[in-house]
Chains A and B, each alone.
Chain A
């Protein structure tokens, strides 16, 4: 298996200092993220909680290098993201970060295997190697039989599992999940969360998950950070419910 357990690097940490992201909408200034300072240690499972518009997704986008802060810094693995060029930021997203979204964001015109191997194309991995890695990743999330299906032929849960396989394919140290269960029923959502926990515990990946479901966070996260109006209002450790989901049907 390409993604060997226990190989997480020591410096998977995230550190933000007085992080701000302001937008101007006509005359009004929107402070989506307003002075957030936080630190995530390597191997942590952190939930970012808050209501809609609290800025949790904006923080996640800043950590993911999809967006640049208006002011403040976000340092991941000793790299100040604000100082990276667009090209370097793309490399960072390619190699350091894996992302999953609420709406799965698979490319509809591609099969699952093609979707999963897409980051490897950007990383210029040889074709022969790519196919093997994609197959392994899909096997790990239990979609071995669906490699040649298109996303539209799959259920929501299966699509999200494929998205997870894609996020894993470049063996990132950091897994960022934006409402990963938001479009799923609770049963399927649990399957996805079990996978996240497996990646966190089994592969030692640092997981930062945005959610508005407190119950979900309490069940899986080891730390809960609360945001409101772009500000950090609470940051507390959590003892997750240790038992792995009894409903998990995921192949290992």
Chain B
């Protein structure tokens, strides 16, 4: 029989026992709906997590340090590669080289120093770090009071909440509710800080190479000596951040942030300078570490490998991201299994419906065989009926599952808002899930139809015709 004929007869037969077939189809759709709802939540949570983590900048960042600087992160690398003493110096030339690697968006030095900040004539010692303009999109600045730096060179500062507390002389007792960032920011925004720092001033040995960052190694080699000068810099407080942009740095994290270009132009004497200078043949700026932004988290590994080949130590949270991905895969599988259980129950309904249909339509099967239907025709007809129930149930189920997911999402967001937490979308029905769910429903239905179809095809026509 041709497929359109088969489909037409199958649908006609389904219409004949409308109630029973509808109930069976509803069973399938409930199964599919539970599968879709479960998986859409699983996928949505995964997307939410990668969206959040992606914005945090944790997964597309590689931190590069010289092997000479074996401190903090990347200690496990010590045993591999060249001995720390022989490895390359992480200077401006190396930074430029890293920045030109494929898939690298930018590589900026980690400028970080301890210094004194004066606010209303009171000194406060703290760690300062510089941020590039691209850090504006960082998740950590979500909910920040005030604004990000107006430009990459503006004499402006962003404070972390805890430092704002310190400036205002507030201390939070353990267990007490954290102060609201808006309350902290209000008296501080627009105020001025005075930063006192030690400037490293290169002594030009030849005229024309006075630029702060030498353009070529040749220039760099020309100037080796420097002196240290005490300087002051006025900074305007433009923002107070609630979250901690440097949470991954642990105890060395900074509390005050400056625009990167401004920080570079200040030539602040850093902790590493003394040690480096004692060996370095170059006057190029030497960095303790360089942060590398990679275009996509998936390219982090290749970029890391390339940088390691250059002789540096790298660190990324890729491994952490991998285990998070694994977690979500496992979660999806579990949710999928629970969702499939309902579909498995529905498939028993299909078997039951079709076996009943065989009993009911025994005579009809006999007639069809007597007038020339082959075993295959009968089998295909029952198969088509199972498949049609699968398609209809699958489509209805996807719609139902979509609705269930949406309701759960909306309901949870209402709850989140009532707890004054930000609402988010943790529910997603990608197109492949729709296709997969319908396909899976059809597959399950066809498998359920195997036995009834084979049984109908085997029916002895003489016996079947005798049946009343």
Taking beta carbons and an 8 Å cutoff, which residues of A are in contact with B?
61, 64, 66-67, 86-87, 90-91, 93-95, 99, 101, 105-107, 109-110, 118-119, 121-124, 127, 166-167, 170
1/0 per position for B403-420, CB-CB distance to A under 8 A? 000000000000000000
Question: Within 8 Å of chain A (Cβ to Cβ): is B125?
Answer: no
- Output the nearest chain B residue to A101 by Cβ-Cβ distance: B465
Residues of B within 8 A of A106 (CB): 367
Given A61-B462, A66-B461, A107-B364, A122 contacting B373 (CB threshold 8 A)? yes
B462 pairs with A67, CB closer than 8 A: yes
What's the least CB distance linking A144 to chain B, in Å?
A: 22
One of B364, B367, B375 near A86 (C-beta < 8 A): B375
Given A66-B462, A109-B12, A109-B16, A123 contacting B370 (CB threshold 8 A)? no
Given A66-B369, A93-B372, A122 contacting B462 (CB threshold 8 A)? no
One of A61, A91, A118 near B371 (C-beta < 8 A): A118
Residues 375-403 of B contacting A (Cβ, < 8 Å): 375-377
Residues of A within 8 A of B12 (CB): 109-110
Q: Offer 30 A-B interface pairs, CB within 8 angstroms, sorted by A.
A: A66-B465, A67-B460, A67-B461, A86-B375, A87-B374, A87-B375, A87-B376, A90-B372, A90-B373, A90-B374, A90-B375, A90-B377, A93-B370, A93-B371, A94-B373, A99-B370, A99-B371, A101-B465, A105-B363, A105-B465, A107-B367, A110-B12, A121-B1, A121-B2, A121-B9, A122-B368, A122-B373, A122-B374, A127-B4, A167-B371
A95 to B371, CA, bound (A): 9
Across the A-B interface, the 6 shortest Cβ-Cβ residue pairs: A94-B372, A90-B374, A121-B5, A93-B372, A105-B367, A66-B461
What's the least CB distance linking B381 to chain A, in Å?
A: 10
- Output the nearest chain A residue to B2 by Cβ-Cβ distance: A124
Question: Within 8 Å of chain A (Cβ to Cβ): is B13?
Answer: yes
What's the least CB distance linking B453 to chain A, in Å?
A: 15
Residues of A within 8 A of B368 (CB): 107, 118, 122
What's the least CB distance linking A205 to chain B, in Å?
A: 16
Total residue contacts A-B, CB cutoff 8 A? 73
Taking beta carbons and an 8 Å cutoff, which residues of B are in contact with A?
1-2, 4-5, 9, 12-13, 16, 363-364, 366-377, 460-462, 465
A119 pairs with B462, CB closer than 8 A: no
Residues of B within 8 A of A101 (CB): 370, 465
- Output the nearest chain A residue to B376 by Cβ-Cβ distance: A87
B2 pairs with A119, CB closer than 8 A: no
A157 to B366, CA, bound (A): 22
Residues of A within 8 A of B5 (CB): 121, 124, 127
What's the least CB distance linking B375 to chain A, in Å?
A: 6
- Output the nearest chain B residue to A110 by Cβ-Cβ distance: B12
B370 pairs with A64, CB closer than 8 A: yes
One of B13, B372, B460 near A91 (C-beta < 8 A): B372
A94 to B461, CA, bound (A): 14
- Output the nearest chain A residue to B371 by Cβ-Cβ distance: A119
B370 pairs with A91, CB closer than 8 A: no
What's the least CB distance linking B69 to chain A, in Å?
A: 79
